[in-house]
Structure 1
Amino acid sequence: MTTATPDLSDRFRELLDRLSHKSVEDYYNPYQTFDWADELPEDDWWMSPDLLSVHGSALHDGLDEATLKRLSKWESINFYSLNVHGIRELIIEVVDRIHTPGFEIPSDFFHHFIGEENEHMWFFSEFCRRYGDKIYTGAALKSAPTEKRAPEVENFLVFARILFFEEMVDFYNTRMAQDTTLHETIRQVNRIHHQDESRHIAFGRELVSHLHQRMKAAVDEAELREVEAYLKRYIVFSLHSFYNPHVYRDAGIADPLAMREALIEDEGRKAVQRKVIRKPMAFFLKSGIFSDDSLPD
């Protein structure tokens, strides 16, 4: 696949130099950094209560604290599992583009990005296996096999998805890193991930903006509207991945599928979800990627 080099601004070049330097200066060895607890208490919170998938819903008050704490354990494992699967997919996409036409300038930073994301995938999977003895399986929203997109569109969508995923995850990381009611092991995992992701998000926003401008010059208005619709479907898909019936089953919920369906339809949950995605939605609107803030049901 051959594409022309995006028209990268001097500001972007300066940002890449600064972020690459910070990646070197802030480098840590994850295999030596983490002080893994032998176990995490089963009767403690494993995730901030306001991040649970039942928070703000009509179902929340029907669950006692013991059930909510069990739920927090398995929703914690689900959250880190989602990170494992999401990181694997984004690494594949970035590796496929590193040192290829169109990505000559950001490729140096891609090396830092790939290395850091690989290490993130390791410590998230380590958490899941140590404390949950499992990594939940995950699904991905893929293009239909017969769908053929212009390279400019595919490149934009890849990095727009990566950016949204990172910003959504960072909302959770930031909250749990600051939550003193959580075990220090949980706080450390979220704190370290947030520190790295702040660089990745700054990079992603700039790259997505450039790729969006290049895509706009290559396709018509109808294609741009389809790109917007696809990204909005991806956002909804990503939010719904937090409603995992396997999590509810492991937490002892009687009818996991019914609970998932009820939570997806719950108006209170929709309001909470908007808070989770406030920053990436604001970016997509300000950048002209989205024409409005509506999302599909």
Structure 2
Amino acid sequence: MTTAPELRVTDRFRELLDRLSQKAIDDYYNPYQRFEWPESLEEDQWWMSPELISPAGTAELEKLDEATRKRLSKWESINFYSLNVHGIRELLIEVVNRIHMPGFEVPSDFFHHFIGEENEHMWFFSEFCLRYGGKIYQPPAFKLASPRHEPEVENFLVFARILFFEEMVDHYNMAMGQDERLSRTIRQVNAIHHEDESRHIAFGRELVAHLYGLMCEKVDGSRLREVEAYVKRYIVYSLNSFYNPEIYRDAGIADPLALRAAIIADPGRREAERRVIRKPMAFFRKIGLFTDDTLPVG
């Protein structure tokens, strides 16, 4: 059984939960009717904003002509939605394990909205991948040992990972939802996901801040540094999941592993990555989890 000490819920948190739950009701849509799925999407267009494809900011980008970049953007797009499918599945498992369990009584009503919306997100992302890419890419395994022993640590890490994942994805959604260079279908998928995620992020920040406070009361400083190190490793893993050699292979790149290694090693890529994670990094610094902005190499 997954439990946590009862959250010391403030009036502000209760008001936020009520407001977000009502907004979820007011903004509800049927995803099976909302989307228009054309038979195909043009192959010679951008499928992801060119500033967001993985070689952006590196010397490797200059070695690719525009036709190759556009072809790569298709598979980058399929990989991005594939990451969403797998990320959503994992976060749903964790939230379902906690709904109406001791310690999570207050947020459980919002959990119902969260679970329903995320399940629908997983459906339309998978629908896009299978319709237009014919596949869902598998994610790399996250094999790092987690410092999970105390319930307070376990619960904090679950929702910290969920929050980071949502904030990282939302960076892409916001950009692509407004990018007129992309097809209407791609803009629609990203814009609708951003609308829902804005509620989830507002909720997640409040919950993670609460859980961090509870964790700090139960564990010592050395344990907190273990948690900090784990979350930072998870961030690097998440960023590296965009550098999938399979997408380079599908785009016709001659040596996909060499391209991946070159992109990861290029210092110019760090600036692009920092833009993607700027908001969650600032939040983790604000609540006290991160003592600095450094991330491990790898």
Give the structure-1-normalised TM-score: 0.98
* Matches of 2:196 and 2:76, distance apart in 1: 23
The question of 1:127 aligning with 2:118 is answered no
Q: What is residue 14 of structure 1 aligned with on the other side?
A: 15
Q: What is residue 136 of structure 1 aligned with on the other side?
A: 137
Moved more, 1-10 or 187-196: 1-10
> Given that residues 4 and 155 in structure 2 are in contact (C-alpha distance below 8 angstroms), is that contact kept between their aligned partners in structure 1?
no
Moved more, 198-207 or 130-139: 130-139
SS in 1 for 2:194: helix
* Matches of 1:268 and 1:198, distance apart in 2: 29
SS in 1 for 2:46: coil
1:139-166 CA-partner distances (Å, limit 9, x unpaired): 3425638x65100000000000000000
Between the two proteins, the alignment pairs up a number of residues equal to: 296
Aligned-pair CA distance for 1:196: 0.0
Aligned-pair CA distance for 1:78: 0.1
Aligned residue identity for 2:60? L
In the TM superposition, what are the counterparts of 1:240-251 in structure 2 within 5 Å?
Answer: 240-251=240-251
The change in CA–CA distance for 1:163 and 1:142 in structure 2 (over 3 A counts) is: farther
Q: What is residue 224 of structure 1 aligned with on the other side?
A: 224
The change in CA–CA distance for 1:148 and 1:281 in structure 2 (over 3 A counts) is: closer
Which runs of 5 or more structure 2 residues have no equivalent in the other structure? none
Post-superposition, which runs of at least 4 consecutive aligned residues in structure 1 deviate over 2 A?
A: 139-145
Aligned-pair CA distance for 1:250: 0.2
* Matches of 1:47 and 1:3, distance apart in 2: 41
In the TM superposition, what are the counterparts of 1:266-281 in structure 2 within 5 Å?
Answer: 266-281=266-281
Aligned-pair CA distance for 1:290: 0.6
The question of 1:83 aligning with 2:90 is answered no
Q: What is residue 184 of structure 2 aligned with on the other side?
A: 184
| Cα root mean square deviation, aligned | 1.0
The question of 1:170 aligning with 2:180 is answered no
Give the structure-2-normalised TM-score: 0.98
Aligned residue identity for 2:270? K
Q: Share of identical aligned residues, percent? A: 71
1:193-225 CA-partner distances (Å, limit 9, x unpaired): 000000000000000000000000010101000
Which runs of 5 or more structure 1 residues have no equivalent in the other structure? none
* Matches of 1:256 and 1:135, distance apart in 2: 18
Q: What is residue 67 of structure 1 aligned with on the other side?
A: 68
1:152-193 CA-partner distances (Å, limit 9, x unpaired): 000000000000000000000000001001000000000000
